[in-house]
Amino acid sequence: MQTLLRTPLYERHVALGARLVPFAGWEMPVQYEGVIPEHRAVRTDAGAFDVSHMGELSVEGANARGFLQSVLSNDLDRIGTGQAQYTLLTNEQGGIVDDLIAYELEPERFLLIVNASNREPDLAWLEERAPGDGIELRDVSDDCALIAVQGPRALERLGLPEAPAFTFEAGELDGVPCTVNRTGYTGEQGVELLVESDDAAGLWDRVLERGVVPCGLGARDTLRLEVCYPLHANDITPETDAISAGLGWVCALDKEFTGADELRRIKETGPDRKLAAFVMEDAAVPRQGMAIEEGGEVTSGSHSPMLEVGIGMGYVPAESAQPGSEITIDVRGRPRRARVVKKPIYPREES
Amino acid sequence: MAAAESYPDDLRYHREHDWARIEDGEATFGITWYAQDSLGDLVHFEPPEEGATVTRDEPYAEVESVKAVSDVVAPLSGEVLEVNRAVVDAPEHVNDDPYGGGWLVRIRLSKPGEADALLDVAAYKQHLAEQG
């Protein structure tokens, strides 16, 4: 068995009594006190997540921008230095190799924060397509840790001013230097603090001293599902195209990038199936892999701690993807009714 | 609020972390403190139908937390007389009070002699210790 990797915060998780589980090759906290209280802390106050397992790839050089424009779906010319952008690494079929956030550090220097399990495949993908000179690609994941602090009171608790989403700047928290990214995966206001590995435990301690609740990956998953952020390898994969996944808004189809032709074709003809969000009408918890009778299957499913019902996402035939459509989920042999809803399942305005 | 760890003396236990309270040819079933703690906050209880037959060592219901679903194994054989509707409506009763308000079903026993194969509290605690 392969040894699990540990983040610089591992000792902190153990000391806090976290339940640790294997995730994407890492030994990560799934919960501390419990998924539901942690989830609610993020929706009502502020929670902190160790997301240091995520990968950081550095792309720099005279051709860095032009190269990334040719492999990423979104248009980097829409952002400038100090701004970030949600984007996709796509294949020739328009499938999703990974979803990631690109940070423009300088006009020809970028940091890509990618999914943990895609760190090596992404780097290999980029290396294979990079022109011979003018590009330096480096995996800098081991140098840095990432702590997400999310929730309506996150900024207040950290003593940070408001700033536009998808911007970042060098900063510090109680003397610990870090980069403050205005990004997140919960649907709440908040930041992701990028910090040197050696400073990570100190930063984590400062965050918790300010009354932020430690949260595990269990709550991270239910939070992102309530707001319908896709999870790579579940909802989006190299076999699912960006248009069917509802990610056309991050595909700049007026530029050329890998798979753009195919994505333009799918957009033109309309996808056969779409990634729909649904809420259970019968009492049941949908789970990944369950069949949907109308066609397709559940790609993410769980219990919504805010709505207190089963919720999920899955690819369904386009005619069943309209909000209001009734679908039936095969819950271990039992047909259970669900209704397709508009995304997000849990709108923040309700909080 | 989650209950403190406990294993009452008057119950019989199954290795799959179920308990049975046996009285006059009937039994009440539930899951142990260890089982609910391992699962975390329960969000769904899928009960058997009243009148259904349950068989010792076989699954008769499901309990689910946010992260996982788990079969509930019958410690004894019999017929389901009653399902705890309070747990269907609010599965967290199992976390709050696993041996009281969090009971799952009441059974008429078809083979009362099966009870001899269940663990007493000392043997169940030993089983937990061996599980680490």
Per-residue pLDDT tens digits for A59-92: 999 999 999 999 999 999 999 999 999 999 999 9
Domain total for chain B? 1
Nearest CB to A285 within list B2, B40, B44: B44
pLDDT, one tens digit per residue, over B5-54 is 999 999 999 999 999 999 999 999 999 999 999 999 999 999 999 999 99
Of A34, A302, A308, the CB nearest to B40: A34
Q: What is the ipTM of this complex?
A: 0.89
B87 falls within a domain: yes
List phi, psi (to 5°) of B30: -160, -175
Query: Alpha carbon of B107 to those of A117, B9, B71, B83, B104: distances in Å?
Result: 48, 20, 18, 9, 10
Q: Which of A23, A30, A35 to mutate to test the interface with B (most CBs of B within 10 A)?
A: A35
Q: Is residue B7 part of a domain?
A: no
Inter-chain CB proximity B43 and A285 less than 8 Å: yes
pLDDT digits (tens, 9 = 90+) for A283-326: 999 999 999 999 999 999 999 999 999 999 999 999 999 999 99
Give a yes or no: residue B88 inside a domain: yes
Closest-approach residue (CA) in chain B for A309: B43
- pLDDT one-digit tens code per residue, A105-116: 999 999 999 999
Judge whether B3 lies within some domain: no
CB distance B64–A302 less than 8 Å? Answer: no
| φ, ψ dihedrals at A79, nearest 5° | -120, 165
In a domain, B101, yes or no: yes
Check pLDDT > 90 for residue A132: no
Task: Assign A277 to helix, strand or coil.
Answer: strand
**Structural domain of residue B124, as residue ranges?**
12-131
Q: The domain spanning residue B38 has which CATH number?
A: 2.40.50.100
This prediction has a pTM of 0.95
* Cα gap A323→A199, rounded to integer Å: 46
Cβ A283–B62 below 8 Å, yes or no?
no
Spatial separation of the C-alpha atoms in residues A75 and B5, rounded to whole Å: 55
pLDDT higher than 50, residue A351: no
Q: Tell me the nearest-neighbour CA distance from B66 into chain A, angstroms.
A: 6
Q: In angstroms, rounded to a whole number, what is the distance separating the alpha carbons of residues A338 and A240?
A: 23
Q: What is the pLDDT of residue A350?
A: 46
CB contacts < 8 A, A to B, total: 38
Is B2 domain-assigned? no
Task: Give the mean pLDDT of chain B.
Answer: 96
Q: Dump pLDDT digits (tens) for A42-60.
A: 999 999 999 999 999 999 9
* Residue A166 DSSP class: T
Q: How far is B117 from chain A (nearest CA, A)?
A: 30
Q: Note which residues in 1-30 of chain B have CB less than 8 A from chain A.
A: 2
Percent of the residues in chain A that have a pLDDT greater than 90, as a whole number: 97
How would residue A348 be classed by pLDDT, with cut points 50, 70 and 90?
A: confident
Helix (H) or strand (E) holding A22: strand A19-23
Who contacts A24 (Cβ-Cβ below 8 Å, separation ≥6)? A53, A115, A116, A117
Q: Is residue B1 part of a domain?
A: no
With beta carbons under 8 A apart, name residues in chain A contacting B66: 35-36, 218, 222, 302-303, 305
Q: For an interface test with A, give the residue of B1, B34, B39, B43 to mutate (most A CBs within 10 A).
A: B43
